[in-house]
Chain A
Amino acid sequence: MLSFILNRALQIIPVIIGVTIATFLLAQIIPGDPADVLLGSTASEETRQELRTALGLSEPVYIQYGIYLKNLLQGDLGQSFTFAEPVTQVLVSRLFNTSLLAIAAIILASIVGVAAGTWAALKPGSIRDQGLSVVVLFFNSMPSFWLGLVLILIFGLHLRLLPVGGMDDATGSLAGLAAHMVLPTFTLAAWSLAVIARMTRSAILDVINSDYIRTARSRGVSEARIVLRHALPNAMPTVITVIGMQMGFLLSGAVLTETVFSWPGIGLAMYQAISTRDIPLIQGGILVLAIAFVLINFVVDILYAYFNPKIKLA
């Protein structure tokens, strides 16, 4: 198991190098001149040229990449134009907020999704199974920003039960944070929850008619243990892969959700960076999200091996 983990960890390195190249090139191909954004259209050509030289934008591309990589290794992702502070600082302070939202959302989506999928799979074709299909279809067809707006309208404006945006109330209490988290967490989780429920249902249906389930039943194992100890662990490799992929989607979903709820996370910062062509911040944000995505997949692979003993041999 340890050698499997080390082996997988080594495979991450080239992927991350690839990500740095991709984020670097992404900035190169985005149209628009940072000098225009920084200095405005009234600045003279000399001033612009000076700024380009100062930012290293007049060097050849590979030199620029070298500089980028060198700075990156020193934790320097450049200066954000919009926030007027180092990109690293912008991202670090917001990474926690995004993680908080994403982790809450994936926990909600996983627990409710797996439970609902299993519950429906135990009686295929029943009313509760068909009911779940309807809910899944509803959440899967609903764009998250629209769901967010509808929830704000209902729970924030009409019922006045929950705050509509931001992260903390004036007191900064934990209860205030929790109240602010409810709507964005649900909005972010809804799509993934539906996908996880659907995949869990089909994974359980695949294993529940297996011979080994019949063997366990024929030996007097209780139905509860059949589901929890026999069916679920064997459905887990599928379910975990789906949950892992959903965590990746949550990171992108966070951009929309954070924007709708003014949640001060990386997603909102990215939205602002894209609107103002704040290229260093875009690069940094994409890099952090991509690395997070790679690390999540790494953890998913390990969990996958844990639940499927045959993988370890490979």
Chain B
Amino acid sequence: MTMHSNAAPSPAAPILEVSHLGVAYGNDARKVQVVHDVSLAVSPGEALGIVGESGCGKSQTMLAVLRLLPRGGRVSGGAVRFDGRDVLALSARDVRGIRGHGLALISQDALTALNPAMTIGTQMAEPLIHYDGVSGAQARKRCAELLDLVGIPGATSRLGSYPHELSGGMRQRALIAMAISANPKVLIADEPTTALDVTTQAQILQLIDRLRRDLGMALILITHDLGVVAGVTDRVAVMYAGRVVETATTEDLFASPRHPYTKALLDSTARIEGQVSDRLSPIPGLPPDPRSPVSGCAFHPRCSYVRDVCHQDLPQLVDGIAGGEHPVRCFVDPFVTAPARRAGEAAR
């Protein structure tokens, strides 16, 4: 059997596979579970979006993957496999090898994500010199190339700048250049555009998209904004209250959202097309506090399709209703069932 390099769509073995991951804070007596049973996978070169409101556990999941959970946080179950290796079982030294080289992270606010007391060049070159053993001059040259690659003008002179001397967009570009400096296989971008103004947002998204294609990286794009994943990612996982509630190709998700939460998210997003009379309908209520978990489906207090079963039982993430690669964690299908109460009506 011959394999062609572009012989799609036979799904390649995932480069990063998260299975049944749980993240908890605190001790057993006062345990707060912020991520439940999350399974995700990205293949080499693939772009996956993770969408959800603040506090839904999307960032916590990725920090757990990088073994960078803050003090007090721990993985309470599940497994993370990267490139065939069990990340959670690796020694501290081996994890360092994966960080930056295998999995790279771009965080939300480039101003706080860059060390204010170090020049861009020094912090960029640090892992190259001290982990890869590249010489100082070579590292400098490589860093200048990278800054050039991410579109920072006058790259060589910028190496000597401190983060506060760059604009917000430039800082985010510098942060991206730092992330790709060691040729990672998976780029994890955690809300990379949230702190930027709208025009810069589009530029940064295009840059990330271009780099992913040019460098053949897989991308995990974490965002609270469905508009950001459209056009950038191949697949999207929607998270709510620490659980994945729906996974689909980006196209499918926008065309036929199967989970009431996804549908509500889409309804609350402004769109150019459609009639002017279409009103935005916000999702009523607030996401549950992980310290006082909701029984049954976590979305039921805010769901317009809620049924009795949703109050007690937790739906599983199953392919069922739509068929194909579109698993949903819901008892109802908003396409065949009428809402039990009007959208926009507050719960109870």
**Interface positions of A (Cβ within 8 A of B):** 124, 209-212, 214-223, 225, 229-230, 233-234, 236, 307-310
Contact = CB atoms under 8 A, between A and B. Distances in A.
Nearest to A224: B130
A216 B118 CA distance: 12
A215 B96 contact: no
Contact of A218 (B100, B117, B126, B164): B100
A220 B96 contact: yes
Interface in B66-117: 66, 68, 70-71, 92, 96-101, 103-105, 107, 109, 112-117
A220 B182 contact: yes
Contacts of B68: 214, 217-218
Contact of B97 (A209, A212, A220): A220
Contacts of A215: 105, 107, 113-115, 175, 178
A224 B85 CA distance: 25
Given A215-B175, A233-B118, A210 B99 contact: no
A225 B117 contact: no
B130 A225 contact: yes
A125 to B, nearest CB: 9
Contact of A219 (B112, B162, B182): B182
Looking at B97, B104, B123, B175, which has the most chain A CB atoms within 10 Å of its CB? B123
A233 B117 contact: yes
Contacts of A310: 116, 162, 164
B127 A212 contact: no
Contact of A216 (B66, B71, B115, B182): B115
Contacts of B96: 220-222
A310 B113 CA distance: 16
A218 to B, nearest CB: 4
Interface of B: 66, 68, 70-71, 92, 96-101, 103-105, 107, 109, 112-118, 123, 126-127, 130-131, 162, 164, 175, 178-179, 181-182
Contacts of B109: 211
The 5 closest A-B CB pairs, nearest first, are: A219-B100, A220-B100, A218-B105, A211-B112, A212-B115
A225 B104 contact: no
A219 B115 contact: no
Given A211-B112, A212-B113, A217 B126 contact: no
Dominant secondary structure at the A interface: helix
Given A211-B112, A218-B103, A221-B127, 12 more contacts: A214-B68, A215-B178, A218-B107, A219-B99, A219-B182, A220-B97, A222-B96, A225-B126, A229-B118, A233-B117, A236-B117, A310-B164
Chain A CB within 10 Å — which of B92, B101, B105 has the most? B105
A256 B297 CA distance: 71
Given A212-B112, A215-B175, A309-B164, A220 B117 contact: no
Contacts of B182: 219-220
A309 B99 contact: no
Contacts of A221: 96, 126-127, 130-131
17 contacts: A211-B113, A212-B114, A214-B68, A216-B126, A217-B99, A218-B100, A219-B99, A220-B100, A220-B101, A220-B127, A220-B131, A221-B96, A229-B118, A233-B117, A307-B117, A309-B162, A309-B164
A27 B96 CA distance: 65
Contacts of B178: 215, 219
B116 A234 contact: yes
Given A211-B107, A215-B105, A216-B123, A234 B100 contact: no
B30 to A, nearest CB: 16
Q: Which of A124, A214, A236 has the most CB of B within 10 A?
A: A214
A233 to B, nearest CB: 5
A218 B131 contact: no
Contacts of A229: 118, 126
Contacts of B116: 212, 234, 308-310
Nearest to B108: A211
Contacts of A225: 126, 130
A221 B68 CA distance: 13
Contacts of B131: 220-222
Contacts of A236: 117
